[in-house]
């Protein structure tokens, strides 16, 4: 039979191993934390733009995978040209809003590459506004 001290030592060891694993997976040096920091740094340079939804269509899936694909058009600030872009409602936080053709929305885009856009919802979420 094991002594009381051995049992306590074993429990402490298990808790330390478990705690270390949790820290490794979710701590400040985890993959998710690094990815969020990179995304935050990338979004700092994005420019705000008002866009108009020009089309909405289903992605063709039924059930859990169903989503609406929005096509939006916005003015690129430095070239004063119109840019058209697509993105999925669920990934960009729009699925709850039920936007329709002609609705105005706010998005953010990379001025160096206007093809890279983020919804206002995701932008504010990442930058903690």
* pLDDT for 22 beyond 80: no
| Amino acid 30: pLDDT | 64
Torsion from C-alpha of 72, 99, 87, 52, nearest 10 degrees: 10
pLDDT tens for 33-67 read 677 777 788 888 888 999 898 988 877 778 777 77
Which burial class, exposed, middle or buried, applies to 74 when counting CB atoms under 10 A from its CB (0-12, 13-18, 19+)? buried
Residue with tokens 């733009």, as numbered in its chain: 49
Give pLDDT tens digits for 73-113.
Answer: 998 887 888 888 887 776 666 665 677 888 898 889 988 88
Q: What is the pLDDT of residue 129?
A: 61
Show contacts of 27-33: CB within 8 Å, 24+ apart.
none
- 0.85 surpassed by pTM: no
């Amino acid at each position: 039979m094991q002594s009381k001290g051995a049992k306590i030592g074993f429990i402490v060891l298990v808790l330390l191993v478990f705690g270390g694993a949790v820290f490794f997976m979710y701590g400040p040096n985890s993959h998710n934390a690094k990815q969020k920091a990179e995304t935050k740094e990338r979004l700092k340079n994005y420019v705000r733009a008002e866009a108009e939804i020009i089309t909405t269509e289903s992605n063709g899936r039924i059930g859990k995978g169903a989503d609406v694909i929005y096509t939006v058009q916005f003015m690129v600030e430095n070239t004063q040209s119109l840019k058209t872009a697509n993105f999925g409602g669920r990934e960009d936080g729009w699925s709850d809003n039920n936007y329709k053709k002609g609705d105005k929305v706010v998005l953010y885009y990379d001025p160096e590459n206007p093809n890279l856009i983020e919804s206002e919802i995701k932008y504010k979420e990442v930058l903690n506004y």
